[in-house]
């Protein structure tokens, strides 16, 4: 009888100890690590294709990681960050000194990392004979001072993704105005901008380069089929360039911008692990494959001779 009691007791101890183990880690062990746990992040919708691919790769590398993205407009993302509703965000700029000072007053430690260089891209319908744009003329169009396509003889309708987005903020900063004319209107996403331009000859679409940059992605190739990407020059006396990675890297394409990840999560957790992934070799290779410019990896420039 005593032997039976001892046997049952031993089994109970084994079961108890087994219940205290999770994938080889005892209960109480820090489960939220660089490669384990769930991270909620907010990303400007301009960068959705890049982050869809990056998150898929990260989760493939770390099966116990779950990165949940919310794609929003840049202004809304910043508001959510300051309201402490999200710990990790991706936008097109670093915080200003005033914003950083406001966070310091709350004893919030924030780490900002530039992960890539991007570009604002101008797209038109293939039936539009115009193929170039200067920054000066773009400013006039945005301000409603230049309203007619020379080739089409029709009104220019400028369309962007959504209010307070990175694209809208770029246009506002370009002309120094927060309130833009009525010929500039928003839809709901970069994809809707693309579809609008495909169906409207008079449209001038403003999108993030990432939506049409990855030529290895069949969905991207389908997008590009019904679009024409304009070449852009700083002025009428300077050369025109398309938003290729090399031209962004050399700063010859004038409508450049940056991609920043801003994080206030703990240094040992999954949020920080994902940021480190984006800054590391694999994340930077994904950025490069997406035909954007990685911030932490060299770009190989090849000069082609026509002789």
Let me know: does 270 contact 39? Beta carbons within 8 Å.
yes
| For range 187-196, the mean pLDDT | 93
| For range 279-302, the mean pLDDT | 86
User: Cα separation of 82 and 46, whole Å?
Assistant: 21
Helix axes 270-279, 48-61, angle to 10 degrees: 110
Cross-strand bridge partners of residue 232? 133, 241
pTM given for the model: 0.84
Return the exposure string of 29-62: e unless at least 16 CB atoms fall within 10 Å of the residue's CB, then b: eeebbbebbebbbbbbbbbbbbbebbbeebeeeb
| For range 224-245, the mean pLDDT | 92
CATH class of 37-117+258-294: alpha beta
Cβ atoms within 10 A of the Cβ of 277, count? Answer: 23
Q: Give the pLDDT confidence of 105-129 residue by residue, as tens digits.
A: 999 999 999 999 999 999 999 999 9
Q: Give the pLDDT confidence of 30-56 residue by residue, as tens digits.
A: 578 999 999 999 999 999 999 999 999
How confident is the prediction for the chain on average, in pLDDT? 86
In the prediction, which pLDDT does 32 show? 87
In the prediction, which pLDDT does 302 show? 54
Residue 87 has pLDDT above 50, yes or no: yes
User: Percent of the chain at pLDDT above 70?
Assistant: 83
| For range 187-192, the mean pLDDT | 92
| Sign of the torsion angle spanned by Cα atoms 50, 53, 59, 61 | negative
| For range 217-242, the mean pLDDT | 81
CATH hierarchy code of domain 118-256:
3.40.190.10
Min mean pLDDT across 98-112, 161-175, 223-237, 256-270 is at 223-237
Residue 5 has pLDDT above 70, yes or no: no
Query: Strands 65-72 and 37-44: what pairing?
Result: parallel
Distant-in-sequence, close-in-space partners of 208: CB < 8 Å, separation ≥ 6: 44, 46, 47, 118, 119, 120, 121, 166, 167, 190
Return the closest-CA partner of residue 281 out of 295, 271, 267: 295
Let me know: does 161 contact 168? Beta carbons within 8 Å.
yes
Q: What DSSP state is assigned to residue 69?
A: E
Element containing residue 265 per DSSP (H, E):
none
Let me know: does 53 contact 61? Beta carbons within 8 Å.
no
Residue 29 has pLDDT above 80, yes or no: no
| For range 1-27, the mean pLDDT | 40
Element containing residue 117 per DSSP (H, E):
strand 111-124
Domain with CATH 3.40.190.10 in the chain: 37-117+258-294, 118-256
Q: Who wins on pLDDT, 215 or 146?
A: 146
C-alpha distances (whole Å) from 196 to each of 70, 128, 147, 210, 248 are 24, 14, 18, 18, 26
| For range 231-240, the mean pLDDT | 96
Residue 17 has pLDDT above 90, yes or no: no
In the prediction, which pLDDT does 83 show? 96
Residue 225 has pLDDT above 80, yes or no: no
Q: Give the pLDDT confidence of 154-189 residue by residue, as tens digits.
A: 999 999 999 899 999 999 999 998 887 766 889 999
């Amino acid at each position: 009888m005593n032997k039976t009691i001892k046997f049952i007791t031993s089994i109970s101890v084994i079961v108890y100890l087994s219940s205290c183990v999770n994938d080889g880690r005892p209960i109480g062990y820090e489960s939220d690590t660089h490669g384990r746990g769930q991270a909620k992040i907010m990303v400007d919708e301009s960068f959705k294709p890049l982050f869809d691919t990056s998150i898929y790769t990260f989760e493939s590398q770390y099966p116990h990681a779950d990165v949940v993205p919310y794609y929003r407009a840049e202004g809304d993302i910043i508001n959510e960050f300051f309201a402490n509703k999200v710990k990790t965000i991706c936008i097109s700029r670093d915080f200003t000194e005033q914003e950083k000072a406001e966070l310091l007053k709350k004893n919030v430690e924030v780490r900002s990392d530039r992960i890539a260089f991007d570009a604002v891209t101008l797209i038109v319908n293939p039936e539009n004979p115009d193929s170039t744009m200067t920054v000066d003329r773009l400013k006039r169009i945005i301000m409603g001072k230049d309203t007619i396509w020379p080739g089409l003889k029709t009104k220019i309708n400028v369309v962007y993704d959504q209010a307070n987005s990175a694209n809208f903020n770029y246009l506002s900063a370009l002309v120094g105005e927060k309130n833009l004319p009525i010929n500039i209107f928003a839809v709901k996403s970069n994809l809707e901008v693309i579809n609008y331009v495909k169906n409207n000859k008079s449209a001038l679409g403003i999108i993030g380069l990432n939506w049409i940059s990855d030529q290895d992605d069949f969905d991207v190739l389908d997008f590009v089929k019904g679009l024409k990407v304009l070449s852009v020059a700083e002025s009428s006396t300077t050369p025109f360039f398309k938003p290729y990675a090399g031209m962004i890297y050399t700063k010859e394409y004038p409508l450049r911008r940056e991609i920043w990840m801003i994080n206030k999560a703990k240094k040992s957790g999954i949020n920080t692990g994902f940021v480190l992934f984006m800054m590391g070799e694999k994340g930077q290779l994904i950025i490069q494959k997406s035909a954007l410019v990685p911030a932490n990896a060299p770009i190989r420039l090849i000069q082609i001779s026509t002789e």
